[in-house]
Amino acid sequence: MDQMDGPTIKGHDNVDVPQLATHDKEKVYLKGKDKIVPPFRFGVEDVATKMWFHKLAYPGQCLTNSHLDIIFYYLRKKGKYAKEPKTESHWILGRLNIEERRVYMYNSLSTAMKDSAAIKACQPFAVLLPHFFALFDEFKKENKPVCLDPFEVVKVDGLPQQTSNDCGYFVASFAEYFIDMKLIPPIFDVEKHRDRLAVLFYKYARMKEVEFIDSEDEAPPKGPKKNLSYNIKV
């Protein structure tokens, strides 16, 4: 066996033992073998040495500014061009009762998971609204003490439940029943109510167009105008 280069040290039996040469972590490649020609182009900068990849691959070596700049350059690109995960959209209705300091949550797709997600979606409003009302002195108008504690979020039970992708209509219906001060029935015909709204809004739009009628908040400020009141019956 050929003797390895490097100084020798004395063993226990006083025999010379060759000492292994210690590699310089900065020079693991032979002279002239470290270069990358032409350099790899990575957008923010070029990499011209194999040591760049050696430091990246092996533990115990500190990454340089170059490593972090290039890594985060591609992470930003990944975030920019990555496909967004598919998420299911679902409409719920929140009704605020200042007197009771409660936000009532109306959910037409009531399962343990959906209810939890719906309540979680209401929480930011429950936290922010007390601060909003305090800022604009709404509590003083009602002669109520200013309290910045979050409103309670309460799930409303006994609501009709959707069997298809009708959550938007259910939200509109819940609000309409509340405005008309009517109880929400536990079951109702979704197709019938969809048709009702479609016909009513079409007739409303045609009437405005044919009779040149503007609602109060739609008309430009010019001369007298004919006001239109159009009720949507449940």
Contact between 55 and 67 (Cβ < 8 Å) = yes
Contact between 229 and 213 (Cβ < 8 Å) = no
Residue 228 CB-density burial (10 A; 0-12 exposed, 13-18 middle, 19+ buried): middle
Task: Please give the chain's pLDDT, 234 residues, in tens.
Answer: 333 344 444 444 554 544 434 455 667 888 888 999 999 999 889 999 999 998 898 888 889 999 999 999 998 888 888 776 666 688 999 999 988 999 999 999 998 988 999 999 999 999 999 988 888 877 677 677 788 999 999 999 999 999 888 899 899 999 999 899 999 998 888 888 889 889 988 888 888 888 877 666 555 555 554 444 444 444
Q: How far apart are CA 214 and CA 220, in angstroms?
A: 9
Contact between 168 and 89 (Cβ < 8 Å) = no
pTM summary value: 0.54
